Amino acid sequence: MDQKAKHTHLIREKAYALGFDFVGISQAKELTEEARQLERWLNQGMHGQMGYMANHFEKRIDPRKLVEGAKTVISLMFNYHNDEQQKDPEAPKISQYAYGKDYHYVVKHKLKELLKYIQAEVGEVQGRCFVDSAPVLERDWAKHSGLGWIGKNTLLITRKKGSFFFLAELIIDLELETDHPIKDYCGRCTRCIDACPTDAIAQEGYWMDASKCISYLTIELREEIPNTFKNQFENWMFGCDICQDVCPWNRFAKRHQEPDFEPHPDLLEMTKQDWEEITEEVFRKVFKKSPVKRTKYKGLLRNINFLKDG
């Protein structure tokens, strides 16, 4: 086994030991085709008020501008699927990914461990860790490294375990053996398109108007939610899992094994009335280290009231 193959094997094994479910490797290069798609998406205003999506365009399409001398993008997937549901069927709903502790910290900690391991085993290796908080086209890199395909709902889907995964990247200046993309297995299925209550997914699929997405409207949007969306949220108050819940590939989803992603004991027990009467104190207790803190107490109240008034 040559050095490149040895290093690749060591990194994969360590990533799996840290709890990552899938590991894929790509050569660091400019994503030319994806750059054109991103530009078209931005020009059509599909990003809504997410102005940061238009920032650092050159870095977003070329990892070598993020890490000097970058040779490799390691893409990793970390399962967050939880099949437990909120006890009260009438309670406003929260997306699975936000049940537990903020994934930015949980997954990034594991990524940093992986980078330290690489540096200890290989030697002088420079790199950076990314978990959904920097200008990296994470789904595209995951696709290029064969972890799955980008489905009609614009999420990365795997044949083995569906799509309930966080994506993360390690961009390093070490050359490794690379993987290859796999084919698209969405076929003629249109379940995600048909199920989206706000028509955020284009009729042909593979194109998302984020400004119509319930996740965007309940998390990213800072102002009042437009009344045109009244009665279209299907009771989602933070995020939305509809296009994943209806995806046939998620019948293979397995429950996560990460203790940090377990929900606060009170979260799934709260009734519709509990949510409508939630105080800032309860908010702080239930969502102490949760991604829900991003929308803040006032933002969550806005979402709950939008559902209630509808």
Check the CA dihedral 154-159-165-166 and report its sign: negative
**Cβ neighbours of residue 228 under 8 Å, at least 6 residues apart?**
none
What pLDDT sits at residue 222? Answer: 93
What pLDDT sits at residue 310? Answer: 57
Confidence (pTM): 0.95
Number of domains in the chain: 1
What pLDDT sits at residue 135? Answer: 87
> And the tokens for 173?
């200046």
What pLDDT sits at residue 15? Answer: 98
> b vs e for 190-225, b when ≥16 Cβ sit within 10 Å of the residue's Cβ?
ebbbebbebebbeeebebbbbbbbbbbbbbbbeeeb
Measured CA to CA, the distance from residue 118 to residue 286 in angstroms comes to 37
Give catalytic residues, as residue numbers. 132
Helix (H, G, I), strand (E, B), or coil: what is residue 77? Answer: strand
Helix (H, G, I), strand (E, B), or coil: what is residue 280? Answer: helix
DSSP H stretches of helix in the chain = 3-17, 32-43, 57-61, 103-122, 138-144, 191-195, 214-215, 242-245, 272-276, 280-286, 296-309
Contact yes or no for 129/309 (Cβ under 8 A): no
Q: Which of 137, 128, 107 is nearest to 171 (CA)?
A: 128
Contact yes or no for 247/162 (Cβ under 8 A): yes
Q: Which of 65, 72, 66, 68 is nearest to 27 (CA)?
A: 72
What pLDDT sits at residue 309? Answer: 64
Measured CA to CA, the distance from residue 286 to residue 299 in angstroms comes to 15
Structural domain of 301:
1-310
What pLDDT sits at residue 77? Answer: 98
Query: Cα 67–70–71 angle (5° rounding)?
Result: 165
Measured CA to CA, the distance from residue 192 to residue 244 in angstroms comes to 7
Would you report the helix, strand and coil content of the chain in percent, each value rounded to 5? 45, 15, 45
What pLDDT sits at residue 53? Answer: 80
> And the tokens for 263?
């929900």
Sites in the chain below the pLDDT cut of 50: none
Contact yes or no for 98/238 (Cβ under 8 A): yes
